[in-house]
Amino acid sequence: MTAIPLASDHAGLPLKLALKDALQGEGHVVLDLGTHTGDSVDYPDFAAQVAAALTAGQAPFGILVCGTGIGMAIAANRHPGIRAAVLHNSTEARLTRAHNNANIACFGARTIGIETARDALRVFLSTPYEGGRHDRRLAKIDPPGAK
Ligand code: RB5
């Protein structure tokens, strides 16, 4: 079974641990890439680690948590082939998978409740990309073959 890479900074640590527990409880295998303590760290370092796991083909999806999810998404989206979206609810989770083929779910520990984040993550991981007209739009963001 493919391990789902996840990471957070210090601000995102409590929500990351809650999401990790939830995923494991649902039978997923997770790869926790840190951070592991409350010491202050820099979120781009952790976004880079999850992005690298995806671009190396280790997993189709990753999870990033910081205070707002925004810094993680900005940082992750600088990596080729990454489409990271900040999620606040299940509707965003469904639509960003179906339309944007998002491959990293970002959450803000200071901006979302655990239950809502869990639900959004469940939907994110189970919603297929629709393809079709969305392929043309995604190709305008990441031209095929571009790295
Ligand atoms: C850390 O204090 C905070 O700036 C970070 O977790 C994140 O919210 C940045 O986007």
Q: What is the pLDDT of residue 146?
A: 61
> In this model, does residue 89 exceed pLDDT 60?
yes
Residues marked as catalytic: 66, 99
pTM of the full structure? 0.97
d(CA 91, CA 127): 11
Q: How far is the CA of 120 from the centre of ligand 1 (A)?
A: 21
Binding-site residues, ligand 1, Cβ < 6 A: 9, 11-12, 43, 66-68, 70-71
Backbone angles phi, psi at 128, to 5 degrees: -80, 155
* Per-residue pLDDT tens over the stretch 104-137: 999 999 999 999 999 999 999 999 999 999 999 9
Q: How far is the CA of 106 from the centre of ligand 1 (A)?
A: 12
* Per-residue pLDDT tens over the stretch 11-68: 999 999 999 999 999 999 999 999 999 999 999 999 999 999 999 999 999 999 999 9
Q: How far is the CA of 24 from the centre of ligand 1 (A)?
A: 26
